[in-house]
């Protein structure tokens, strides 16, 4: 992060492209580069470039060609690689199923909450030898969400501000009973990838926001077919075009020099680490250089 004074930064925008989004439009000086991390391999090389003078880093979440399923994604390596590349703000672009009548396929939902029902994933950078507990009450940056909402509206993209994304393990889609359960909990959309991504972004002190792009009505709707990959792919193409337009419009605004985000995400580790310095494992502390170097070595 380029901190020009105690409280001002020059943002670098990271974009994580989900299903159907394996690159972004309008980048100049493009270069795909592998970024080494202490957590293993990220999903793919990262695409570095500038858009309207703003530094951007793109990562295809499942890798180019989509070889990696949600449960096998190395979420820690992905987030560490973005952090190590200087990213301050992450835009996550994700295909989701709708759990509400009023969120039809084609609609973009700027979710502001998550329920994490994933269970077969590494969920934290911290561990025995360096324990930390970050706050997740507000997992999404309100500033990112506002900018995305405004730009989507300007472009005429159907958009809903706010909503809850429930993260299932997958890779199978939900049973009808599960889909109805999530609806009874008031969830808006269902997907398989945004956790632990959002938790790890918070641990790494990066702002995070998701554009959840509805592709289907999952399997609860009596007048729509149950979700299939074929159905998702059909809707995804139009969604991907809109996502590219939105990213291109939002990045010049997101990239303006600004004060630290009032959400506190950029200082999430200030009071989160509970392990006493003398009880810390030096090997783990070394692995945390990018994620937590600001507080561990600062
Ligand atoms: C191809 S449909 C299921 C797949 O799509 C979503 O992934 P992403 O968030 O990366 O767009 C969903 O979570 C599943 O992984
Ligand atoms: N119905 C659904 N369930 C889980 N992930 C999805 N991604 C797109 N549609 C989905």
Domain annotation for the chain: domains and CATH numbers? 2-296 (3.40.50.1580)
Could you check whether the bond before residue 42 is cis, i.e. omega within 30 degrees of 0? no
Ligand 1 lined by 19 (C-beta under 6 Å): yes
Ligand 2: centre distance to CA 54 (Å): 32
Cα of 231 to ligand 2 centre, how many Å?
A: 10
Residue 298 is predicted with a pLDDT of 73
Q: Which residues are annotated as a binding site?
A: 19, 61-62, 94-95, 192-193, 216-218
| Predicted structure pTM score | 0.96
Q: Percent helix, strand, coil in the chain (nearest 5)?
A: 30, 25, 45
Residue (of 100, 45, 73) closest to 194 by Cα position:
73
At 113 the pLDDT is 98
Minimal-distance CA residue to ligand 2 atom 10 = 97
pLDDT of residue 262: 79
Give the per-residue pLDDT at 23. 86
ipTM for this prediction: 0.99
Q: Report in angstroms the alpha-carbon separations of 171 from 47, 128, 167, 193.
A: 27, 30, 11, 10
61 within ligand 1 shell (Cβ under 6 A): yes
Active-site choice (23, 218, 270, 281)? 218
In the three-class reduction of DSSP (H, G, I as helix; E, B as strand; rest coil), residue 180 is classed as: helix
Q: Are 109 and 96 in contact (CB under 8 A)?
A: yes
- Residues touching ligand 2 (Cβ under 6 Å) are 95-97, 173-174, 190-192, 215-216, 218, 227, 232
Is the CB of 43 within 6 Å of ligand 1?
no
Q: Is 233 in the pocket of ligand 1 (CB under 6 A)?
A: no
Pocket perturbation via mutation, ligand 1, pick of 16, 69, 94 by most ligand atoms within 8 A of CB: 94
**What is the pairing mode between strands 108-110 and 89-98?**
unpaired
Q: What is the pLDDT of residue 7?
A: 77
Nearest atom, ligand 1, residue 70 CA: 15
- CB atoms under 10 Å from CB of 175, counted, come to 10
Cβ of 110 closer than 6 Å to ligand 1, yes or no, is no
Q: Which atom of ligand 1 is nearest the CA belonging to 95?
A: 11
218 is known as an active-site residue? yes
Query: pLDDT digit of tens for each residue in the chain (298 aa)?
Result: 554 456 789 999 999 999 999 988 889 999 999 999 999 999 999 999 999 999 999 999 999 999 999 999 999 999 999 999 999 999 999 999 999 999 999 999 999 999 999 999 999 999 999 999 999 999 999 999 999 999 999 999 999 999 999 999 999 999 999 999 999 999 999 999 999 999 999 999 999 999 999 999 999 999 999 999 999 999 999 999 999 999 999 999 999 999 888 778 999 999 999 999 999 999 999 999 999 999 998 7
Q: What is the pLDDT of residue 159?
A: 98
Is the CB of 56 inside a 6 Å radius of any atom of ligand 1? no
- CA 111, 116, 121, 127 dihedral sign is positive
Which of 138, 216, 270, 289 is the catalytic position? Answer: 216
Closest ligand 2 atom number to CA of residue 174: 3
How far apart CA 3 and CA 28 sit, in angstroms, is: 24
Q: Hey, whose CA ends up nearest to atom 10 of ligand 1?
A: 18
């Amino acid at each position: 992060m380029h901190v020009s004074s105690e409280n001002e930064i020059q943002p670098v925008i990271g974009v994580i492209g989900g299903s159907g989004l394996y690159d972004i439009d309008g980048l100049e000086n493009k270069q795909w580069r592998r970024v080494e991390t202490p957590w293993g391999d990220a999903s793919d090389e990262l695409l570095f470039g500038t858009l309207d003078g703003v530094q951007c880093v793109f990562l295809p979440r499942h890798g180019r060609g989509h070889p990696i399923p949600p449960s096998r994604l190395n979420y820690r390596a992905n987030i560490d690689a973005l952090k190590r590349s200087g990213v301050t703000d992450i835009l996550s672009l994700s295909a989701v199923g709708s759990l509400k009548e009023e969120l039809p396929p084609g609609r973009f939902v700027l979710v502001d909450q998550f329920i994490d029902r994933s269970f077969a994933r590494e969920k934290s950078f911290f561990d025995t030898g360096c324990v930390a507990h970050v706050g997740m009450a507000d997992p999404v940056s309100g500033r990112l969400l506002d900018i995305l909402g405004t730009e989507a509206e300007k472009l005429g993209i159907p958009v809903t501000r706010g909503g809850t994304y429930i993260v299932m393990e997958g890779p199978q889609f939900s049973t009808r009973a599960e889909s109805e359960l999530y609806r009874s909990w008031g969830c808006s959309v269902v997907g398989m990838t945004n956790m632990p991504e959002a938790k790890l972004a918070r641990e790494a002190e990066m702002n995070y926001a998701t554009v959840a792009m509805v592709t289907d009505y999952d399997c609860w709707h009596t007048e729509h077919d149950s979700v299939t990959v074929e159905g998702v792919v059909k809707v995804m193409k139009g969604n991907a075009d809109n996502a590219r337009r939105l990213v291109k419009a939002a990045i010049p605004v997101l990239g303006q020099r600004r004060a630290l985000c009032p959400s506190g995400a950029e200082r999430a580790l200030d009071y989160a680490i509970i392990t006493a310095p003398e009880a810390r494992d030096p090997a783990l502390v070394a692995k945390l250089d990018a994620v937590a170097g600001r507080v561990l070595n600062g």
